Amino acid sequence: MPFENLKVEIVDRIATLTICREKALNALNSEILDELLAVLQDVKRNGQVGGVIVTGAGEKAFVAGADIAEMARFEPLQACEFSHRIQNTFGVIETLGKPVVAAINGFALGGGCELAMACHLRIACHTARLGQPEVKLGIIAGAGGTQRLARLVGKGHALEMLLTGEAISAEEAYRIGLVNRVVSPPELIPTCRAVLSEMLKNGPLALRYSIDAVHNGLEMSLEEGLFLESTLLGMCFATTDMKEGMSAFLEKRFAKFQGK
Ligand code: CAA
């Protein structure tokens, strides 16, 4: 299905989703959100896709936030609805059950930084800048920024970014744990592909349960999280992949996982 503002390419089990609205620095409007949700649901169901890269078109921006021209017209209830909608879409990324890497190729501001934070890993090129500038517009972050940022980098760094609204460099983002790696622009997509390819050598269900355990466990007490971990580990022992993985080790060969 062709999309107006989204390019989708699937190569070697990796789907690359490129947000293509360069004239507005890939700012997210309602139309893009609809397209993104449709693609994510498709990718979630598609057995040929093992992992996903999310990036922005061009060299300047990953995503420069939610579309300010659209938001400027919102009544309070519309703003609240929009926030729920963007949060739900980003929630689908976080719970996709397949690893998702944000390839941050430039500005990741407001909803752009929030989109990157909903991904499981963030790899930035050294020209990228990340920030939550909403306070400069007289509003607060509304796509998960007040929640995911503090969980990722801690309350102090999160409040500094949320209250100053200033963007930080990719190196600073790496220092505070907001991004996993910083690379040169030409290395960005190849690095994301290499990281995902390494992950995709492993059992798909083991990847999914690892994401589930970390994502859900973070919202639980340690005791509850440990219980969840044991339950998911037990479920792994009901899979063909577990038998294959352990047999392959004992027979000194590479495992051939089937995701079942
Ligand atoms: N929404 C709509 N249009 C945007 C946009 C956005 N978030 N960001 C950039 N654009 C548009 C600009 O209006 C401009 O359009 P025109 O050429 O038609 O004038 C075009 O993209 C290029 O942008 P600039 O001329 O501003 O480029 P620059 O190099 O001078 O500055 C920038 C780059 C620092 C990223 C600047 O564009 C900027 O500050 N953008 C806004 C960033 C922002 O505040 N994001 C948060 C949005 S709120 C949000 O996301 C809420 C939420 O959590 C749900």
Q: Reduce the secondary structure of the chain to three states and give it as a string.
A: CCCCCEEEEEECCEEEEEECCHHHCCCECHHHHHHHHHHHHHHHHCCCCCEEEEEECCCCEEECCECHHHHCCCCHHHHHHHHHHHHHHHHHHHCCCCCEEEEECCEEECHHHHHHHHCCEEEEECCCEEECHHHHHCCCCCCCHHHHHHHHHCHHHHHHHHHHCCCEEHHHHHHCCCCCEEECHHHHHHHHHHHHHHHHCCCHHHHHHHHHHHHHHCCCCHHHHHHHHHHHHHHHCCCHHHHHHHHHHHCCCCCCCCCC
pLDDT tens digits, one per residue of 59-68: 999 999 999 9
Assess whether 166 carries a catalytic annotation. Answer: no
For the Cβ of 142 lying below 6 angstroms from any atom of ligand 1, the answer is yes
For the Cβ of 25 lying below 6 angstroms from any atom of ligand 1, the answer is yes
The dihedral formed by the CA atoms of 157, 25, 9 and 203, expressed in degrees to the nearest 10: 0
Q: 6-199 adopts what CATH topology?
A: 2-enoyl-CoA Hydratase; Chain A, domain 1 (3.90.226)
pLDDT value at 1 more than 90:
no
**Ranges for all domains in the chain classified under CATH 3.90.226.10:** 6-199
Give 209 Cα–ligand 1 centroid separation in angstroms. 38
Q: Ligand 1 atom closest to Cα of 67? A: 1
pLDDT value at 173 more than 70:
yes
**Average pLDDT, integer, range 234-239:** 97
**Average pLDDT, integer, range 223-227:** 98
Mean model confidence pLDDT for the chain = 97
pTM over cut 0.85 = yes
Level-2 CATH architecture, domain 204-250: Orthogonal Bundle (1.10)
Closest C-alpha to 130, from 99, 89, 164, 87? 164
Q: Whose CA is nearest to atom 36 of ligand 1?
A: 64
Q: What is the pLDDT of residue 221?
A: 97
Q: Residue 145: CA atoms inside 13 Å, Cβ hemisphere, count?
A: 30
Q: Whose CA is nearest to atom 39 of ligand 1?
A: 64
**Ranges for all domains in the chain classified under CATH 1.10.12:** 204-250
Catalytic pick among 114, 166, 172, 224: 114
Question: What CA–CA distance (Å, rounded) separates 95 from 155?
Answer: 24
Q: Whose CA is nearest to atom 11 of ligand 1?
A: 24
CB atoms within 10 A of CB 238: 10
Assess whether 219 carries a catalytic annotation. Answer: no
Contact present, 200 and 13 (Cβ < 8 Å): yes
Q: Ligand 1 atom closest to Cα of 145? A: 53
Q: What is the pLDDT of residue 2?
A: 74
**Average pLDDT, integer, range 231-251:** 97
**Average pLDDT, integer, range 105-116:** 98
